[in-house]
Chain A
Amino acid sequence: MKCDKVYILGGYQTDFARNWSRENKHIVAMMREAYQGSLLSTKVEPSDISAAFIGNFAGELYCKQGNLGAFFVDFDPCFVGLPTSRFEAACASSAVAALSAMAHIMSGIYDLVCLIGVEQMKTVDPVKGGDFLGAATWYEKEAAGIEFPFPKLFGKLGDEYEKRYGLDNKYLARIAAINYGNAKKNPNAQTRHWFMNFEHANTAGKYNAVIDGRIKVTDCSQVTDGAVCLYLASEKYAAKYAKHRQRNLNDIPWILGWGHTTAPIEFAKKVADSAQSEYVLPITRKAIVDAFRRAGLANCWELDVIETHDCFTTSEYMAIDHFGLTKPGESWKAIEAGIIEMGGKLPINPSGGLIGCGHPVGATGARQLLDAYKQVTESAGDYQVDGAQTAATLNIGGTATTNVCFIVSKRH
């Protein structure tokens, strides 16, 4: 039976401050903890799960481990024979896993999909890890032989803004300070106990080294170990789930809209292609606009909160105008006006985002969806945006190559 609505039943995030290599743990331990935690938080019956979808970027490189879907079968005797799959789209791996889960649910194939996003990154030193991440670009052209290719590429995003519209780096520092500040309220955020303020983020020095051009350490998201497990369900299953728990189906959030676009993999080509567009990354803008359209939203001001992909401060700077908080090139105005801060008109990344909460690459899309769920169910604790009803996520893979936007809402 085909289904129009895909519901989110909640889930679980591991503590992103943990170093699982220091704990001498295999990547399966992370998946298992996330799964077991999700059972405790959602009370889903394992035997109800129709399939498990795993989002992961580079298990083969970081852990010498592929075929991650197979591990799920070990988690419960009733899973033997269960269909499982692993999805890869760089930093958007678990968002594309979620899209596929939606497609399977909407077409009536599955009723309840367990979605796990996972990445164990602290198995190698930062230089080697940076090289692995280069696989999310056109490696031969953009990453081979280059130390830390991604900061350089996202530095170029800032350069493009500067060229077209002007860019004062103090606004990037402000983005970093806001994300770190928000992360302090998130008990699972990697940086929740780290020191940060605007002055530190705005000043290069021994403890805030310049990586390349305008990108300093504080402009970057973290190398993070982490997993997130959540459940996507058909309306039929969600109704049964709600009834058994004496909950109202209308209180369970659903995916109101989605957008999914792919741009050419090379960053230089993306920028060249966008020369005539007022948006620096129009393919990313299209994913957002598609999600708005499917959700029936006129614009961003119908959202209450955004969890966006701030792999670097420049990517959040881009997201601000691409979501439509300002005219193209004027993201600084939203920053200056406090719009994106907690208590502002449209808070961005109350979780701390990738900069503050952490960025276990293959888990980030799932983490954003879970945080969107938490916000609209008023279960985000100290980082709750008051009265949030509708949340958007933007997860990008590569240099905004794969773009996935979800609108999560409990408006029915």
Chain B
Amino acid sequence: MVCSINCVAVLGSSGTIGSLVGGLIAQSGIKVYFLSRTLQGAKSGLQKAIAQARSEMISRNIVCGDYDHLLESALEKADLIIESVTEDLAIKQKIYEKIERYRRPDVIIGSTTSSLPLTALVKGRSESFKRNFLSTHFYNPPGKMLACEIAAQTDTDPEIYDFIKDFLENQLCRVLIPVKNIAGFAGNRIAFLLFNRITALAEEHGVEMMDYLIGPYTGRLMPPLATLDLVGLDIHRAIIESLYKNTNDEMHDWFVLPDYINKMIDRRALGNKTKGGFYKKLESGKYVFFDPGTCDYIPAIEPHVAFVEEAKHLIHIGMYREAFTTIKTARGREADIVMNILCTYVAYSYARIGEVTECEFGIDGIDRVMSFGFNWAAPSLIVNMLGGKKAVIELLDERGLEVPQALKSERESVKEVSNSGKYFVAR
């Protein structure tokens, strides 16, 4: 078994995650091979890694090359292989064949996937390959988002798992979330349920209104539909489809993609990468918003809802708990929407304990991935802000949401409000 990581090969180093994770490893002083289909691709990855580090010095630790010329010699030296090629089962399986051919028998292989089944990925691979294979799911951009989910598959050697966990935590300074081998792991499972629910509500209430209501003041750095523009709707659809296919839970129906999202994808309104998704910036600098009803862009309505404005003001002056009391006690359609989303977030998160993370960690792992992977206020923090466990159980009951056993049995949260203020943004 490998006992220290001195050399790493990153496959798929032209992509965002491959290059930035490779860059992080190089920053810690380890030699990294940036491998891609073309040398040019690997070199473009190097530039991304340099920009992330804000230092040309890391290039001293990075060797760029293409698969045809450098793969064999790089894999002979690598103690760890990070596979970050396109999220496509066939493409990944093909690259694993190559890895199998050239790898050292003890090399550790980590895939950055979170949505493809690990067992399918290693189908047909040797026993020793499977023993050394696991998922290391980094969040984007890894320089700022510290969460890293780690999942073993059936044959992963527990010693390898512990070794990589230690490496990620202590050498790459990741916030580690041990997760079970299930589609979407913890973070994407929960976040994308919420995202999809909000896209469905946008059909009725409009894109701009939904991002206004579920805006940063509810405990997130970015509004949800703006976040999906950043992710890309094609990626969103792939994740939602994978979650629908590979999971089954009490909110399974909410993993059905609203049809207008398919139309957006057909029209290449994918988000920021196509300069238009839910939001589109005009030359004047103003934004227009996608209208799911007409599938056209409509001008801003600039919503103004009294309780939202009051909550934002309270957050502006640092009175977070009071802001949530305002949200909780507000009445009307908009208040219902906000509270339903917050309660869904809490109920769905607590219900996943034991399914996506081990029961013994309680809500901790899910808290960490939502905070360090998405910049969202953790579910337990929302419970705290809404008045504690007992109050939230009542709120869930009122909304007909199943109260998760894990919430009932969870110790009352003692999270310090003052440590968590950064998740409440006055916008």
Residues in A lying within 8 Å of B, measured CB to CB: 12, 14-15, 18, 22-26, 28-34, 36-37, 40, 184, 193-197, 199-200, 203, 205-208
- Known: A15-B422, A23-B426, A25-B426. Contact between A200 and B55, CB under 8 A? yes
Shortest CB-to-CB span from B388 to chain A, Å, is 16
Whether B57 contacts A24 by the Cβ 8 Å rule is: no
B318 interfacial contact with A, CB 8 Å: yes
Whether B318 contacts A25 by the Cβ 8 Å rule is: yes
B47-70 Cβ-contact flags toward A at 8 Å (1 or 0): 000100111111010000000000
Bound CA span A144–B210, Å: 48
Chain A's closest residue to B312 (CB) is A24
Chain B residue numbers with a CB within 8 Å of A34 are 418
B173 interfacial contact with A, CB 8 Å: yes
Whether B316 contacts A29 by the Cβ 8 Å rule is: yes
Shortest CB-to-CB span from A409 to chain B, Å, is 28
Chain A residue numbers with a CB within 8 Å of B359 are none
Bound CA span A40–B416, Å: 8
Shortest CB-to-CB span from A144 to chain B, Å, is 31
Which chain B residues in 165-180 approach chain A with CB under 8 Å? Answer: 173
Whether A193 contacts B143 by the Cβ 8 Å rule is: yes
Shortest CB-to-CB span from B385 to chain A, Å, is 14
Chain B residue numbers with a CB within 8 Å of A33 are 318, 418, 421
B319 interfacial contact with A, CB 8 Å: yes
Shortest CB-to-CB span from A120 to chain B, Å, is 12
B317 interfacial contact with A, CB 8 Å: yes
Bound CA span A196–B316, Å: 34
Whether B422 contacts A207 by the Cβ 8 Å rule is: no
Chain B's closest residue to A74 (CB) is B317
19 inter-chain pairs at a CB distance below 8 angstroms, sorted by A residue, are: A15-B422, A22-B425, A23-B421, A23-B422, A23-B425, A24-B316, A24-B426, A24-B427, A25-B315, A29-B316, A29-B421, A33-B421, A37-B416, A193-B143, A194-B54, A195-B53, A197-B29, A200-B57, A207-B53
Bound CA span A193–B57, Å: 16
Partner of A207, one of B55, B146, B319: B55
- Known: A33-B418, A36-B417. Contact between A195 and B55, CB under 8 A? yes
Whether A40 contacts B418 by the Cβ 8 Å rule is: yes
B384-427 Cβ-contact flags toward A at 8 Å (1 or 0): 00000000000000000000000000000000111101101111
B19 interfacial contact with A, CB 8 Å: no
Chain A's closest residue to B56 (CB) is A205
Chain A residue numbers with a CB within 8 Å of B318 are 25-26, 28-33
Chain A's closest residue to B427 (CB) is A24
Bound CA span A24–B427, Å: 7
| Closest A-B pairs by Cβ, 5 of them | A29-B318, A37-B418, A32-B318, A24-B426, A195-B53
B181 interfacial contact with A, CB 8 Å: no
Bound CA span A25–B427, Å: 10
Chain A residue numbers with a CB within 8 Å of B56 are 205-207
B115 interfacial contact with A, CB 8 Å: no
Whether A195 contacts B316 by the Cβ 8 Å rule is: no
Chain B residue numbers with a CB within 8 Å of A36 are 417-418
B113 interfacial contact with A, CB 8 Å: no
Whether A207 contacts B54 by the Cβ 8 Å rule is: yes
B27 interfacial contact with A, CB 8 Å: yes
Chain A's closest residue to B316 (CB) is A26
Bound CA span A199–B60, Å: 11
Whether B173 contacts A193 by the Cβ 8 Å rule is: yes
Chain A's closest residue to B421 (CB) is A33
Whether B58 contacts A195 by the Cβ 8 Å rule is: yes
Shortest CB-to-CB span from B324 to chain A, Å, is 15
Bound CA span A246–B79, Å: 52
Query: Given A22-B425, A37-B419, A207-B54, 4 other A-B contacts at CB below 8 A?
Result: A24-B427, A28-B317, A29-B315, A206-B56
Chain B's closest residue to A28 (CB) is B317
Bound CA span A407–B55, Å: 38
Chain B residue numbers with a CB within 8 Å of A208 are 55
Chain A residue numbers with a CB within 8 Å of B57 are 197, 199-200, 203
Which chain B residues in 219-276 approach chain A with CB under 8 Å? Answer: none
Bound CA span A232–B381, Å: 31
Which chain B residues in 15-68 approach chain A with CB under 8 Å? Answer: 27, 29, 50, 53-58, 60
Chain A residue numbers with a CB within 8 Å of B143 are 193
Bound CA span A33–B427, Å: 18
Partner of B27, one of A24, A40, A195: A195
Residue of B53, B173, B427 with highest tally of chain A CB at under 10 A? B53
Chain A's closest residue to B314 (CB) is A29
Bound CA span A205–B59, Å: 14
Bound CA span A23–B220, Å: 10
Shortest CB-to-CB span from A54 to chain B, Å, is 15
Bound CA span A207–B424, Å: 32
Whether A195 contacts B425 by the Cβ 8 Å rule is: no
Shortest CB-to-CB span from B58 to chain A, Å, is 7
Chain A's closest residue to B173 (CB) is A193
B297-318 Cβ-contact flags toward A at 8 Å (1 or 0): 0000000000000001001111
Shortest CB-to-CB span from A42 to chain B, Å, is 12
Bound CA span A30–B421, Å: 9
Bound CA span A37–B173, Å: 25
Bound CA span A26–B173, Å: 31
Bound CA span A184–B58, Å: 18
Chain A residue numbers with a CB within 8 Å of B422 are 15, 18, 23
Chain B residue numbers with a CB within 8 Å of A26 are 316-318
Chain B residue numbers with a CB within 8 Å of A28 are 317-318
Chain B residue numbers with a CB within 8 Å of A15 are 419, 422
B170-202 Cβ-contact flags toward A at 8 Å (1 or 0): 000100000000000000000000000000000
- Known: A28-B317, A33-B318. Contact between A12 and B418, CB under 8 A? yes
Residue of B146, B173, B318 with highest tally of chain A CB at under 10 A? B318
